[in-house]
């Protein structure tokens, strides 16, 4: 990582540096946070594992027709990406009920939904990323009206593609969060990351968790689980190193 790059933004799991006028360098950190940064942790090599998982998934999604901000992978734990203005929404897709929505309606985790559910949360740690309705998001000018169906379309396309891939890796894609940003021409691109930090992944056979719930719920073997996700995805995609 060159010391010359200007730091634009530091988030919980990544640092964003200026690369060129329309490109950024995204560095994946080893830190691990949950519950809007109330719980803090880390493990050595996490940035690299998450960077590798994201790169593999972005390349796969590009092949499936999803436009992403990814340009190139940079050693050891970075990527170069198109600079985008992130829409401050955490776009969540659920295939199986778990986490906050299961809790909110007092439903046991594991209920399979007939159709994928798309939900928006307002990206603001101080407010605890509250649920935001489509109408609220438009009224509060978080997004424009026409962007709402576009965001849902991107989210559902990512979901269909990822479900197939994770199934090949013997993992159920329970739910996940994506972020979308607009490039300088206003084109919407998938941005941020797709990693076990922002997905729930359960083993198809045993239902064992392979995601950040291991950290949130103190289940142990966090590093091993993230590494296993990468290994299974590499096998599923036939990636040779």
**Binding-site member from 5, 12, 163, 223 for ligand ASP (CB under 6 A):** 12
Site of interaction with ligand TMP (CB under 6 A): 90, 92, 99-100, 121, 129, 175-177, 198-200
CA dist., res. 181 & res. 82, Å (int): 10
> Which tokens is 173 given?
């894609």
**Binding-site member from 15, 16, 33, 209 for ligand ASP (CB under 6 A):** 33
- H-type helices in 98-239, by residue range? 99-104, 134-139, 147-168, 213-216, 222-237
Residues 6+ apart with CB under 8 A from 92: 118, 119, 120, 121, 175, 176, 177
Stretches 28-36, 104-112, 113-121, 167-175: which one binds ligand ASP (CB under 6 A)?
Answer: 28-36
Min dist CB 209 to ligand ASP, Å, is: 13
Using rule CB under 6 A, residue 46 touches ligand ASP: no
Residue at shortest CB range from ligand TMP: 99
CA dist., res. 32 & res. 166, Å (int): 23
| # of chain residues touching ligand ASP (CB under 6 A) | 8
Cβ distance to ligand ASP smaller for residue 32 or 169:
32
Q: How many CA atoms lie within 13 A of 61 on its CB side?
A: 27
The helix (run of H) or strand (run of E) holding residue 57 is: helix 46-63
Cβ distance to ligand ASP smaller for residue 82 or 176:
176
Sign of the CA dihedral running 231, 55, 67, 8: positive
**Binding-site member from 15, 123, 200, 212 for ligand ASP (CB under 6 A):** 212
Using rule CB under 6 A, residue 34 touches ligand ASP: yes
Give the number of other Cβ atoms within 10 Å of residue 87's Cβ: 21
Using rule CB under 6 A, residue 71 touches ligand ASP: no
CA dist., res. 152 & res. 156, Å (int): 6
Using rule CB under 6 A, residue 37 touches ligand ASP: yes
Min dist CB 216 to ligand ASP, Å, is: 6
Using rule CB under 6 A, residue 69 touches ligand ASP: no
Interface ranges with ligand ASP (CB under 6 A): 12, 33-37, 212, 216
């Amino acid at each position: 990582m060159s010391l010359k790059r200007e730091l634009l933004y530091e988030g919980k799991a990544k640092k964003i540096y200026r690369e060129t006028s329309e490109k950024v360098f995204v560095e994946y950190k080893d830190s691990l946070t949950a519950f809007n940064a109330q719980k803090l942790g880390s493990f050595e090599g996490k940035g690299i594992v998450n960077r590798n998982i994201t790169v593999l998934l972005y390349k796969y999604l590009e092949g499936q027709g999803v436009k992403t901000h990814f340009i190139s992978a940079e050693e050891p734990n970075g990527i170069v990406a198109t600079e985008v203005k992130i829409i401050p929404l955490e776009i969540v897709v659920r295939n199986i009920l778990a986490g906050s929505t299961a809790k909110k309606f007092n439903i046991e985790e594991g209920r399979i939904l007939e159709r994928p559910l798309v939900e928006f949360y307002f990206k603001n740690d101080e407010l605890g990323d509250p649920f935001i309705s489509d109408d609220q998001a438009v009224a509060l000018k978080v997004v424009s009206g026409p962007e709402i169906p576009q965001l849902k379309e991107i989210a559902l396309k990512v979901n269909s593609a990822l479900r197939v891939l994770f199934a090949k890796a013997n993992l159920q894609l329970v739910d996940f969060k994506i972020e979308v940003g607009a490039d300088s021409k206003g084109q919407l691109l998938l941005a941020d990351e797709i990693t076990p930090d922002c997905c729930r992944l359960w083993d198809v056979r045993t239902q064992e968790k392979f995601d950040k719930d291991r950290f949130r719920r103190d289940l142990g073997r966090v590093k091993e689980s993230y590494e296993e996700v990468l290994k299974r995805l590499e096998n599923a995609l036939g990636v040779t190193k």
